[in-house]
Amino acid sequence: MADRRPASPELVVRLCAITKAFANGATVTEVLHGIDFELHRGELCALIGPSGSGKSTLLNIIGLLAKPTSGSLWMGGEEASQLDEPALTALRSRQLGFVFQFHHLIGALTCVENVAMPLLIRGTSRSVAQARATEALAEVGLADRVRSRPSELSGGQQQRVAVARALVGDPPLLLADEPTGNLDSASSDAVFGLLRRLNRERGTGVIVVTHDSRIAERCDSTVELVDGRVHSDSRWKLQV
């Protein structure tokens, strides 16, 4: 039976007994088998594990992009299974920023227009959105690329624009699914260094899926998934 106590204010997100099953014709395959997970304010957590272990599925559930089959997820004082689609969209917009392996910037827009997008979707005025997007680009070291299009930037710079877009609304939680998976090691260090700095300066909680042990070592905590279960959690100081 899922624990349905609300998360404490110190927690950005709390998952209890989360399962996820996918139906393929008559076959139903469960890929997450009862995940318990918490993230505290200001914590930077690495989510590691073999390919196919369920990391992206779990991140999509935490990001309110996919619904769990069972279990409970608390975020921003709300339990997600109780919310309808408009309420989930509002919670996502208030609480979450995303960075993926591929930057998913819109090629037809300039950098500042891309970064302003989450604020415009929230209903922020164009002039305020533009000003805040410009500041966010300066924070990621791209003040001089405001009017550039994504195709004019290097892979590392594109990923820094994606970080600016994820953080422009100052969400309490940033989810990053292999954000450096497509970058050389110098760009990878720069992008991770940026996440680490913004996490420290703003207290943003970050969950970063990574295959890179050098990145995992620089996180505050490491949670390892194997076959859809938490195999180890460095915060528990033991293997489960």
The DSSP annotation for 1-50 comes to: ----PPPPTTEEEEEEEEEEEEEETTEEEEEEEEEEEEEETT-EEEEE--
Q: From the list ligand ADP, Mg ion, none, pick the one residue 179 interacts with, judged by a Cβ distance below 5 to 8 Å according to partner type.
A: none
Q: Does residue 22 belong to the site contacting ligand ADP (CB under 6 A)?
A: yes
Torsion angles phi and psi, residue 102, rounded to 5: -105, 140
Specify whether the backbone of 6 is left (phi greater than 0), alpha (psi in -120 to 50) or beta: beta
Please choose, out of 5-13, 50-58, 91-99, 149-157, the segment that lies near ligand ADP by the rule CB under 6 A. 50-58
Distance CA 75, CA 13 (A): 5
Among 11, 31, 83, 90, binds ligand ADP (CB under 6 A): 31
Choices 17-25, 48-56, 98-106, 112-120 (CB under 5 A): range interacting with Mg ion:
48-56
Q: What is the DSSP letter of 145?
A: G
Distances (CA, A) of 190 to 48, 184, 213: 20, 10, 16
Q: Does 28 bind ligand ADP (CB under 6 A)?
A: no
Scanning 50-58, 89-97, 153-161, 187-195 for contacts with Mg ion by CB under 5 A, the matching segment is: 50-58
Token pair of 87 as six digits: 């309420």
Judged by CB under 6 A, does residue 55 bind ligand ADP?
A: yes
- Among residues 94 and 211, whose Cβ is nearest to Mg ion? 211
Name which position in 45, 54, 136, 188 contacts ligand ADP (CB under 6 A).
Answer: 54
What minimum distance in Å lies between the beta carbon of 55 and ligand ADP? 3
